[in-house]
């Protein structure tokens, strides 16, 4: 109802006429309860509020219309824009199911998961006369609140003590019982380290031949399943085109995520109950890893040193305090300050750290090649114009040893605060 | 079923030694496309050789020609006397042959690479073998910590250099990926001297393979950034925005403390400070 804008020409006329006795009231009314721009103060002086003058135009910019023509035409219902325009979709009696097992890295749907759900939607919605439903199977606790926006119709959430930790055998047995009960037409899993393993286990258990590393799925009337997929083979050197099998392990960006519809995400439970499995693999928990022993290629956080570092003891101390893996530029290695296996760059290791802190590295092109796939790069350097500063997301110009010392004391202070909080709790 | 010859020839095999079989395949060099020892399989051999008190046997199933033989000799050059070769036709499904050979030789631990470097390379072979043999399987083996009374304690590699400790009842399969220690160099002399123990086995043709089309990998299309907004102004802003890059922040003329504070904030946002 509120989508229709009702205009009252008389009120608009009063609002335009600054001499009308009801002018201020009408302005306030049409402004949606906004503050009046002019009023009589307690001492009989006219007060003005310059911020209340004008109106917000259709493109989000404040307009002051001194001619008075448009002023009253301000739409009272600007809040409509913020309303969700996604079309709600419910599938009451699905013709078939497409099951997805998202990774839920960090308890949330990752972008890879969302791409996969988009692919599942494509498969489910192909025939409007016989709509399928997308079933998601989620293991363990999660923090996700937007299952409906991601395109999930039915949700099986397996939670509780039994499903915490690394339990591949129990997960596969559970998926097998889901398969028996729902018989989904397709199983889609992300071909990542978690989903890839689970998908292959499931394929071996169900006796299906999966398609791994799928990056494209197209409709194809000639194939047996009505779909054709393209998968990478031979360590990424080949493309294999084949009919879409029942179990699909797909790469990231295999399809566009759902954005225009909102689905039910209706929670369902298994009627047969959960299987009881005596696992032969016992999870003893994650092991604390010494960051210095982590290989550079897989390190998450690297503190890298170059020619600008003069005080090597303070650098090593900083790496220990920060818990960072040590890296080095070619100069630091050639000068004998760091071992050869710590060299980052074209000749050394190509790193993929999430955070890469370059201390005193000016950024030769060979070094910048090696850090291409790093997410965040922090540069500490004396020279403002060097290439590393241009590449960096955050660059601090100054003396490396002083900044490192300050950083170490700041982190130590933070750790002490954390410790106090833990003790108090 | 012929007896596993490679098993017999392992010199260090003693009464209570851990019997480790490594499944090896023929790899392909990423640049020259020459046949070579597969990287992950070579790491699996390296891991088996570094186990204490273990007798290591190698097993390969596949077609046999001179190129393949050269590649297989690459494993022999790592300090192994012989490798069992199960002869299979090209396009054959090697799972039944491998499963039979493993059942006959009955190793306690089977190591292999995660994924082949040629063919379909879907990485399902170890899982199918585990299913056929009824053994547990673990992935991403980084180190074997200890073996006692039929239970092995291992470290599993997780992304980003993290490790998880697992205990598995033997016999078991384990796959090794590139986070395992790098393989030692292959020496020429031992590679020549090593023995290739041929075994005959029936090959089952993989029917599905002939219906697939193989072609060189196409470059994947880049995903376009689509801005869905009802306001024309937002759409225009997104379309006219400069490509990313140059969005970095540079702190000039700051005290070391202020600079350190900025870096600290970024590290904390990224969650790398434990």
Going along chain A from its start, the domains and CATH numbers come out as 9-82 (no CATH), 87-267 (3.40.50.620), 291-420 (3.40.50.1220)
Name the H helices within A55-136: 111-124
Nearest chain A alpha carbon to B226: A256
- Residue A17: count of CB within 10 angstroms of its CB: 14
CA distance B30 to chain A (A): 8
CA distance A95 to chain B (A): 28
Among the partner-chain residues A234, A259, A384, the one whose CB lies closest to the CB of B228 is A259
Q: Give the residue among B108, B95, B2, B97 at the shortest CA–CA distance from B56.
A: B108
Interval A159-163 mean pLDDT: 80
Residue A6 predicted with pLDDT over 80: no
Which helix (H) or strand (E) segment holds residue A99: the answer is strand A97-100
| The pLDDT of residue B246 | 52
CA distance B154 to chain A (A): 10
Percent of chain A predicted with pLDDT > 70: 92
Q: Report the C-alpha dihedral over residues B226, B227, B232, B233, rounded to 10 degrees.
A: -120
CA distance B87 to chain A (A): 21
Q: Are A161 and A168 in contact (CB under 8 A)?
A: no
Contact A414 B155 (CB under 8 A): no
- Residue A6: count of CB within 10 angstroms of its CB: 7
Going A385 to A390 to A391 to A395, the CA torsion angle's sign is positive
| The pLDDT of residue B59 | 92
What totals of helices (H) and strands (E) does chain B contain, helices first? 8, 16
Q: Give the residue among A321, A422, A322, A304 at the shortest CA–CA distance from A368.
A: A304
- Chain B stretch 23-82, residues whose beta carbon is closer than 8 A to a beta carbon of chain A: 28, 30, 33
| The pLDDT of residue A337 | 92
Residue A91 predicted with pLDDT over 60: yes
SS3 content of chain B, % helix, strand, coil (to 5): 30, 30, 40
pTM (global) more than 0.90: no
* Domains of chain B and any CATH numbers: 5-211 (3.40.50.620)
Chain segment B131-176, per-residue pLDDT in tens? 999 999 999 998 898 888 889 999 998 877 788 999 999 899 999 9
Which helix (H) or strand (E) segment holds residue A341: the answer is none
Q: Are B248 and A392 in contact (CB under 8 A)?
A: yes
The residues with which B155 forms a beta bridge, in sequence order, are B143, B165
| The pLDDT of residue A253 | 87
> A379-410: buried (b, 16+ CB within 10 Å) or exposed (e) per residue?
bbbeeeebbbbbbbbbbbbbbbbbbbbbbbeb
Among the partner-chain residues A281, A299, A354, the one whose CB lies closest to the CB of B136 is A281
More confident position, A386 or A67: A386
Report the distance separating Cα B41 and Cα B55, nearest Å: 17
Q: Which residues of A touch B259 (CB under 8 A)?
A: 380, 396-398, 403, 406
| The pLDDT of residue B9 | 41
Report the distance separating Cα A299 and Cα B159, nearest Å: 9
Question: A297 exposed, middle or buried (CB, 10 Å; 0-12, 13-18, 19+)?
Answer: middle
Q: B134 in contact with A at a CB cutoff of 8 Å?
A: no
Report ipTM (2 d.p.): 0.83
Q: Are A289 and A325 in contact (CB under 8 A)?
A: no
Contact A396 B167 (CB under 8 A): no
Question: B124 exposed, middle or buried (CB, 10 Å; 0-12, 13-18, 19+)?
Answer: buried
């Amino acid at each position: 109802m509120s989508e229709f804008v009702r205009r009252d020409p008389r009120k608009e006329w009063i609002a335009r006429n600054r001499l009308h006795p009801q002018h201020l009231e009408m302005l306030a009314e049409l402004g949606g309860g906004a503050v009046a721009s002019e009023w009589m103060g307690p001492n009989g002086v006219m007060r003005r509020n310059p911020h209340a003058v004008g109106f917000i135009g259709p493109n989000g910019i404040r307009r002051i219309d001194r001619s008075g023509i448009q002023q009253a035409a301000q739409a009272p219902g600007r809040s409509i824009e913020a309303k969700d325009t996604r079309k709600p979709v419910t599938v009451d009696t699905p013709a078939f199911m497409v099951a997805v097992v998202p990774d839920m890295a960090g308890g949330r749907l990752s972008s890879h998961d969302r791409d996969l759900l988009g692919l599942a939607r494509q498969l489910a919605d192909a025939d409007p006369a016989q709509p399928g439903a997308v079933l998601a199977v989620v293991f363990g606790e999660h923090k996700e609140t937007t299952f409906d926006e991601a395109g999930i119709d039915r949700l099986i959430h397996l939670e509780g003590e039994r499903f915490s930790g690394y339990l591949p055998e129990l997960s596969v047995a559970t998926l097998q019982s889901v398969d028996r009960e729902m018989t989904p037409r397709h199983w889609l899993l992300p071909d990542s380290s978690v989903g890839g393993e689970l998908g292959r286990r499931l394929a071996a258990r169900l006796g299906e031949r999966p398609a791994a590393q799928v990056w494209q799925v197209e409709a194809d009337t000639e194939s047996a399943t009505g779909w054709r997929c393209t998968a990478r083979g031979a360590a990424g050197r080949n493309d294999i085109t084949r009919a879409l099998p029942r179990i699909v392990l797909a790469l990231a960006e295999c399809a566009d995520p759902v954005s225009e519809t909102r689905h039910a995400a209706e929670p369902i439970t298994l009627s047969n109950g959960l299987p009881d499995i005596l696992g032969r693999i016992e999870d003893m928990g994650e092991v604390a890893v010494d960051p210095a022993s982590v290989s550079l290629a897989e390190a998450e956080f690297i503190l890298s040193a170059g020619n600008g570092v003069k005080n090597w003891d303070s650098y090593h101390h900083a790496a220990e305090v920060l818990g960072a893996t040590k890296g080095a530029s070619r100069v630091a290695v050639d000068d004998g300050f760091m071992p050869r296996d710590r060299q980052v760059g074209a000749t050394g290791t190509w790193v993929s750290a999430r955070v890469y802190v370059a201390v005193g590295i000016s950024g030769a092109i060979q070094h910048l090649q090696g850090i291409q796939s790093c997410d965040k790069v922090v540069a500490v350097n004396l020279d403002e114009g060097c290439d590393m500063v241009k590449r960096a997301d955050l660059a601090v110009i100054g003396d490396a040893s002083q900044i490192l010392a300050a950083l170490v004391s700041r982190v130590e202070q933070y750790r002490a605060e954390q410790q106090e909080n833990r003790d108090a709790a | 079923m012929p007896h596993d010859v490679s098993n017999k020839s392992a010199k260090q095999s003693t009464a209570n030694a851990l019997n480790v079989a490594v499944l090896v395949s023929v790899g392909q060099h990423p640049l020259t496309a020459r046949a070579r020892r597969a990287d992950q399989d070579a790491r699996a051999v390296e891991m088996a050789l570094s186990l204490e008190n273990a007798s290591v046997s190698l097993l390969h199933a596949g077609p046999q020609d001179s190129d393949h033989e050269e590649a297989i000799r690459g494993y022999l050059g790592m300090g192994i006397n012989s490798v069992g070769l199960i002869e299979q036709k090209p396009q054959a499904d090697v799972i039944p042959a491998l499963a039979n050979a493993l059942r006959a030789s009955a190793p306690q631990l089977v190591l292999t690479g995660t994924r082949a470097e040629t063919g379909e390379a879907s990485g399902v072979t170890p899982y199918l073998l585990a299913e056929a043999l009824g053994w547990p399987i673990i992935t991403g083996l980084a180190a074997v910590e200890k073996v006692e009374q039929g239970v092995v304690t291992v470290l599993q590699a997780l992304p980003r250099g993290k490790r998880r400790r697992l205990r598995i009842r033997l016999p078991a399969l384990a796959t090794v990926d590139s986070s395992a220690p790098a393989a030692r160099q292959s020496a020429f002399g031992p590679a020549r001297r090593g023995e290739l123990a041929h075994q005959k086995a029936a090959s089952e043709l993989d029917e599905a393979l002939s219906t697939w089309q193989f072609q060189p990998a196409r470059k994947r299309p880049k995903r376009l950034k689509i801005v869905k907004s009802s306001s024309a102004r937002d759409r225009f802003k997104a379309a006219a925005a400069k490509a990313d890059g140059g969005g970095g922040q540079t702190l000039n003329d700051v005290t070391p403390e202020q600079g350190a504070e900025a870096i600290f904030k970024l590290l904390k946002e990224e969650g790398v400070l434990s």
